A and B are shown apart, each in its own frame.
Chain A
Amino acid sequence: QLVESGGGLVQPGGSLRLSCAASGFTFSTSWMSWVRQSPGKGLEWVANIKQDGSDTYYVDSVKGRFTISRDNAKNSLSLQMKSLRAEDSAVYYCVKGGGVFDYWGQGTLVTVSS
């Protein structure tokens, strides 16, 4: 099970931290990802992180603004988002997998608006 939290309304230029609590599988041996979905842009992969946190990858549009991280001791995944823009508004899903997205959380809504 993957349960996201931390979404909400934030002004342009603001910051937000999303969290994901994982259970029911061996978190420490799984690549993890964030995928977002907005009405205008459909599904968009945002970032992923290797099992031990040593490698991370980002879509170009969020590089330098978003940081994905994990705490294997707490079975948790995070996405720190800074310098948020209107186009970052979306439902953000925590997803098990680095390329094969085999389990998804229910999503958390991020709205960037003044």
Chain B
Amino acid sequence: DIQMTQSPSSLSASVGDRVTITCRASQSITTYLLWYQQKPGKAPELLIHAASNLKSGVPSRFSGSGSGTDFTLTISSLQPEDFATYYCQQNSSFPRTFGRGTRVEIK
């Protein structure tokens, strides 16, 4: 199975900050990497697919990059509605696997 390792597991940031979350795959997944946002009590929502493609309707302050084994999710200017937990997931092979999540909290 492909292991997905996210870092950090949590971070504190202020509105307007630039935030970067990293995700590392245990083997190459080319660009078969997705990012999700989950708010408390809600289901996850897809933000980015194919490592860098924003889902329609997702604000442009979100961006993704990377290929192979190393990926990043960047929020260019953190907004109040962005405080949530973010997960990466690979869809290169079965079983589909997720990272453990990064919780973005208000500083």
- Which residues does chain A contribute within 8 Å of B96, judged by CB atoms? 33, 45, 48, 99
Q: How large is the interface on B (under 10, 10 to 19, 20 to 34, 35 or more residues)?
A: 20 to 34
Kindly report which residue of chain A lies nearest to residue B34, judged by CB atoms. A100
Q: In whole Å, how far is B21's beta carbon from the nearest beta carbon of chain A?
A: 15
Residues of B close to A93: CB separation below 8 A: 43-44
The total of Cβ contacts below 8 Å across the A-B interface reads 48
- A102–B46 contact, CB under 8 A? yes
* Chain A: interface size category: 20 to 34
B64 close to A (CB within 8 Å): no
| CB-based contact B98/A44 at 8 Å | yes
Contact: A101 with B100, CB < 8 Å? no
Give per-residue flags for A23-65: 1 if the beta carbon is below 8 A from chain B beta carbons, else 0. Answer: 0000000000100000000111100100000000101100000
A45–B96 CA distance with the chains assembled, in angstroms? 6
Q: Is the CB of A107 within 8 A of B43?
A: yes
B91: chain A residues at CB < 8 Å are 98-100
Q: Contact mask B77-107 → A, CB, 8 Å, 1/0? A: 0000000000101010011111111000000
If A43-B89, A99-B91 touch, whether A104 touches B100 (CB-CB below 8 Å) is: no
| Partner-B contacts on A (CB < 8 A) | 33, 42-45, 48, 57, 59-60, 93, 98-107
